[in-house]
Structure 1
């Protein structure tokens, strides 16, 4: 059974009640992974980032509602990218400075060693762990939810927070506007043709109409906010207030304890 989280901007998607990550405060998900992010910047081994990649993927699969394409990306595409990056980083490693000089393969006069692969794997796993931990909140939090949490919990001025929400809503509008502009150009035969040069011409031809549309939209939004006295008062009421609950504190505490345990062991 699903429900639609109340979002006045229409950005929240239906999520099942059993998936807990969707119901945590957005700042709790950031605070939970922040210690691991910082610590991973100083690691040089293979096991530590590998553990965080596994833990991050497992947490996302258990705690979030995902499309099949995202599941495939986490289980297939992510490991493939990490492996490709590991081999690539290994080529940039000075083979004379690694401990394990056993040769895996040779390309002309270049010998690719086990030590070079280990260094590349440590680097790629570290990047993979950072991305995976970022996805814990990125796949389960919308931009408006994060902005409301920043206003409610970190006391960011609501003028800044809701300006960020407005900017976030510009992105899908730009996409729809660009599609309409290109359809109109095709009907009028503007910037036709095939190939990369024609694609560049079409892109430049859409810049001015898109800019004009964005200016008109920004003007309408500014007039609407001014007519509603937005920013005239130090505080404002929230239709969907962001709250920090006990479960958020528990989630952050458990995540910090797991991070400390991984680095300690």
Structure 2
């Protein structure tokens, strides 16, 4: 049987070997990093208090900071941009809360006839923390999992048909390629001195000038991918071999169990539905 598996690049293999052993998240199966936080993410949709999402936010940040190798840009986003975004979201939801449906006992701010009540502020920041906690839990797998690894694990463990998995992966890989080709087209236009003027009409002409070569490049790339898949007998057999496997080990079960225990402990400690 012809092996039609996309070969992993040398850079991808080197990056997997270069990760420190104590960076636990890189050694886990991608499905384990999804299965562990999903129950907490679903349960957070129904909570309305402040401590519960705040605790999950701290838990997710701890797992990410201890188990992932983060670049300086990612650290700035996690430690500065995300808290600032949550602050703005909390204030925004506080201002949009219907004052007729909340308690008026605590007044935070009063400007003329408009009043910001304490319960509105609590509701706003509870919503912001809930969104932040769900986002942080999703980043546990998102920051440490590659598309090919996730696809292979879904095919091997979840028995997703490989025709579906690798076709979807090939489609997703078109997106960054489009971005690269768009930059190349823009650079070529600048080198050739293409001028479109200013104003809305010029902007439309500029975009039309990008669309035609971008579509032509996309068609050529799609033809090359189709020919490559046909040459490797993609889809000719119901099953396929894999160059390397992504097993579901005991460490994956331990990680899922520990995360579920920690999630249950947080819910039992704060009792958001009591």
Q: Compute the TM-score of the two structures, normalised by the length of structure 2.
A: 0.88
| Structure 1 segment 179-218 matched on structure 2, within 5 A | 179-193=183-197, 198-218=202-222
Superposed CA offset, 1:203-228 (max 9, x none):
33211211111111111111111122
Q: 1:186 to 1:96 in 2, by over 3 A?
A: same
Aligned partner of 2:28 in structure 1 is 24
Please tell me whether the aligned partners of residues 95 and 115 of structure 1 are also in contact (alpha carbons under 8 angstroms): no
Aligned partner of 2:246 in structure 1 is 242
- Between 1:26-35 and 1:233-242, the stretch displaced more is 233-242
Helix, strand or coil for the counterpart of 2:145?
coil
> How much has 1:10 moved relative to structure 2?
5.1
Aligned partner of 2:109 in structure 1 is 105
Helix, strand or coil for the counterpart of 1:190?
coil
- Between 1:27-36 and 1:235-244, the stretch displaced more is 235-244
> How much has 1:18 moved relative to structure 2?
2.0
Superposed CA offset, 1:208-250 (max 9, x none):
2111111111111111111221111111111121110000010
Helix, strand or coil for the counterpart of 1:172?
helix
1:158 aligns with 2:162: yes
Q: 1:164 to 1:9 in 2, by over 3 A?
A: farther
Aligned partner of 1:58 in structure 2 is 62
Q: 1:247 to 1:113 in 2, by over 3 A?
A: same
- Between 1:194-203 and 1:247-256, the stretch displaced more is 194-203
Helix, strand or coil for the counterpart of 1:112?
strand
Q: 1:253 to 1:86 in 2, by over 3 A?
A: same
CA RMSD of aligned residues (A): 1.9
Q: Which residue of the other structure, out of 144, 147, 162, is the alignment partner of 1:143?
A: 147
1:130 aligns with 2:134: yes
> How much has 1:124 moved relative to structure 2?
0.5
Q: Which runs of 5+ in 1 are unaligned?
A: 1-5
Return the structure number with greater relative CO, CA threshold 8 A, min gap 6.
2
Please tell me whether the aligned partners of residues 50 and 129 of structure 1 are also in contact (alpha carbons under 8 angstroms): yes
Q: Which runs of 5+ in 2 are unaligned?
A: 1-6, 270-274
Please tell me whether the aligned partners of residues 19 and 64 of structure 1 are also in contact (alpha carbons under 8 angstroms): yes
Superposed CA offset, 1:111-138 (max 9, x none):
1111111000110000000100010001
Q: C-alpha distance in 1, partners of 2:146/2:63?
A: 18
Q: C-alpha distance in 2, partners of 1:138/1:196?
A: 38
Total equivalences in the alignment? 260
Q: C-alpha distance in 2, partners of 1:103/1:211?
A: 58
1:74 aligns with 2:74: no
Superposed CA offset, 1:2-31 (max 9, x none):
xxxx93485574522220101100000000
Aligned partner of 1:259 in structure 2 is 263
Aligned partner of 2:3 in structure 1 is none
Q: 1:30 to 1:110 in 2, by over 3 A?
A: same
